[in-house]
Structure 1
């Protein structure tokens, strides 16, 4: 197994991604054939409808204990409590990292959040098989993540269609131009641009500025992911065309979550903060 130390020393993230996918294949073997008991909850609005009605930057607030690149972030967080705080501050959706091996998350975290908030929930995981989508939906997820870098075109199309047929919204995540071109073939309603470089793990908001121009659909929700540290970062990606941001580490580490969160709720209209 590649350690975080070796990874930071220079291993490509694609190698880590391969390792994660290999782990997911093992997990799928244990999930296949299982029956997932749906969590009961009141209907929630779609993320798309909330964004359509908003004039402020739409925030997907994430519950993230740790990551391979950053190590421990907030390992003692109570998912339900954190989600409740996010909802009260005006989050449009809650992202829950459910990968255990690399991010210290769990599907139980998502279930706890589902029982607590009346917002759409994104199941943040490495989806490569329909059974993962089944489990996420049963746990109460309303949105699933499909990472273009982790999937072939055939897998991407199959999983996207499967999720849509199961009344789930899909966040299609890209990291570079080639992946954006592949994603756009799906004509997705939600695209996430991850500002983290797959090879160096460095974060550069210029990624959003570069890739956002490739999106022509006026109704496409464009999410900028990674690198939101301060209000200026949010304004920068807004000016590039993002109408939503996904924020994890900054909120999880915030000494004053309310102050930090509110500073990110900038107007979607340029020159108006």
Structure 2
């Protein structure tokens, strides 16, 4: 039976082919080389577990999700991104997947133009084209999901991100996926407590999986944040940073929410 992740990737590939017909890989490669050099997302995220002001926050521009449907009517992604930056976000994540998350590359462009901190292109990377595309649109960081890629693809895509001056967030959600991720010697690994194959969320899984993460990588807790108490729990298990979207886009004051998240995690140091 196809999983939710499988279904999402079918749509991602179809949309990718439509873009490729408009702009060839060679043209996208050229565009990627013409933009301002990437900001250092690894430097922006590292050290969070020892930071007296709390965990670093990757704040997400997220309109909808397969599990919850519509989350927020984000008419001006740039304004939301500026509020994230004011609140102390270390990185801004922009969902660009269209069918299930309501995102676009136009959102990425708007956010990149609005803020000075690193930006993550959050999508389901299945082809090198998307990595050149991310860089061409100003992304500093891309997402590589272990469950969506084989080992050769993971290695090749990680190498390409580094060649383009970017960093990659390698995402895992099982012990086996962490082992595959660690074999790449990456700089950043995220544990997603949402299983993208079933959409089930288990925040407690971070505590079980975190001890398996290499000690020398930036460790990111993804998903499962409803409030400061969840951030504090991730801090107790050694996370350097959190990635959070839904709780921020539904909050009336996202900048303050980020400050609250960082304060809650600092309190458990």
TM-score normalised by length of structure 1:
0.88
CA distance in 1, matches of 2:166, 2:37: 13
For residue 62 of structure 2, the aligned residue among 47, 61, 64 is 64
Q: Select the structure with the greater relative contact order (CA < 8 A; seq sep ≥ 6).
A: 2
Map of 1:8-47 to 2, 5 A cutoff?
15-32=3-20, 33=24, 35-36=27-28, 37=31, 45-47=39-41
Call closer, same or farther: CA 1:45–1:155 in 2, change over 3 Å.
closer
Write the distance in 1 (CA, Å) between the matches of 2:97 and 2:160.
21
Q: Deviations over 1:162-193 (max 9, x none)?
A: 11111110000011111111111101110111
Measured in 2, the distance between the counterparts of 1:270 and 1:41 equals: 40
CA distance in 1 between counterparts of 2:114 and 2:213 reads 35
Does the aligned pair in 1 maintain the 2:182–2:214 contact within 8 Å? no
- Aligned CA distance change for structure 1 residues 24 and 67 (closer, same or farther; 3 Å): same
2:174 aligned partner: 176
Match of 1:191 in 2: 189
Q: Does 1:207 align with 2:195?
A: no
TM-score normalized by the length of structure 2: 0.89
Cα distance in 2 between the residues matched to 1:268 and 1:251: 16
The aligned runs of 1:121-200 (5 Å cut-off) are 121-198=119-196, 200=198
TM-fit CA distance, 1:200 = 4.4
Correspondence for 1:103: 101
CA distance, structure 1, for counterparts of residue 98 and residue 209 of structure 2: 30
TM superposition shift of 1:53: 6.0
CA positional deviation for 1:208: 0.9
Kindly tell me: are residues 159 and 236 of structure 1, through their superposed partners in 2, closer, same or farther at Cα, counting changes over 3 Å?
Answer: same
Matches of 1:267 and 1:187, distance apart in 2: 31
1:224 is the counterpart of 2:221: yes
How many angstroms apart in 1 are the aligned matches of 2:12 and 2:257? 34
Q: Contact (CA 8 Å) 2:191, 2:220: kept in 1 or not?
A: yes
Counterpart CA distance in 2 for 1:40 and 1:265 is 36
> Does structure 2 conserve the Cα–Cα contact (< 8 Å) formed by 1:122 and 1:141?
yes
Alignment match, 1:48:
42
**RMSD over aligned Cα, in angstroms?**
2.1
Aligned length: 259
- The structure with the largest helix share of the pair is 2
C-alpha distance 15-271 of structure 1, shift in aligned 2 (>3 A): closer
| Partner secondary structure for residue 115 of structure 2 | coil
Could you say what secondary structure the match of 1:132 adopts? helix
Encode CA deviations 1:194-245: one digit per residue, 9 max, x unaligned: 011345423222111111101132x311100111111111111111111100
What is the CA–CA distance in structure 1 between the aligned matches of 2:7 and 2:38, rounded to whole Å? 35
